[in-house]
Amino acid sequence: MSPATILTQLNAYGNKHGIGRIDIVENRMVGMKARGCYETPGGTIMLKAHRAIESITLDREEAHMKDELMPKYAKLIYNGLWWSPERRMLQAAIDATQDQVQGDVKLKLYKGSVTVVGRKSDRTLYSEEHSTFEADDVYDQKDAEGFIRLNALRFMIEGKKQPERIATLIGKVEED
């Protein structure tokens, strides 16, 4: 199917289940706030499916960086800067993340929600064999000791330099 045909079909499915209805207050470029009520059933379904495939085909840091770029990208488009050099630059970066993003997603549509109930890809980075914390050669929990110690180093330094501040913070946590 063409992208337009797919979107038309997804709009029909989504409409039937009340998918993609939002009521938001937007911050307009000119400085005012405006209320907007939108319906994007097909787009909502496509986004959920696409993100499901990205979750198994993108590397962690690649996915995080893409997520950081997306608000800037959306702002450029919202403000009418589609043809700007900065939008094209971001587009190239985002496109570079998508070359391995392909596969199948199974979704459940029900009463305004879209739920991922399955996903698969020939290009998945997920491996059940490598996602174990059991006794094997894949992951040794002893490796985490050095990692934890290095990540905690800045807290240990702060604790030695500012013991009264740390004590106050710990006291607040215990009160809560």
Residue bearing tokens 């690649």: 62
> What does pTM read for this prediction?
0.78
- Residue 51: the pLDDT is 98
Rg, C-alpha atoms of the chain:
23
Number of C-alpha atoms within 13 angstroms, CB side, residue 109?
Answer: 19
- Residue 171: the pLDDT is 76
Q: In angstroms, rounded to a whole number, what is the distance separating the alpha carbons of residues 172 and 167?
A: 9
- Residue 173: the pLDDT is 66
- What does the DSSP 8-state code read for residue 108? E
Q: In angstroms, rounded to a whole number, what is the distance separating the alpha carbons of residues 110 and 15?
A: 11
Q: What is the pLDDT of residues 12-48, one digit of tens each?
A: 999 999 999 999 999 988 899 999 999 999 999 999 9
Sites in the chain below the pLDDT cut of 70:
135-136, 172-176
- Residue 69 burial by CB count (10 A; 0-12/13-18/19+): exposed, middle or buried? middle
- Residue 147: the pLDDT is 86
- Residue 28: the pLDDT is 87
Structure tokens of 23? 């009521």
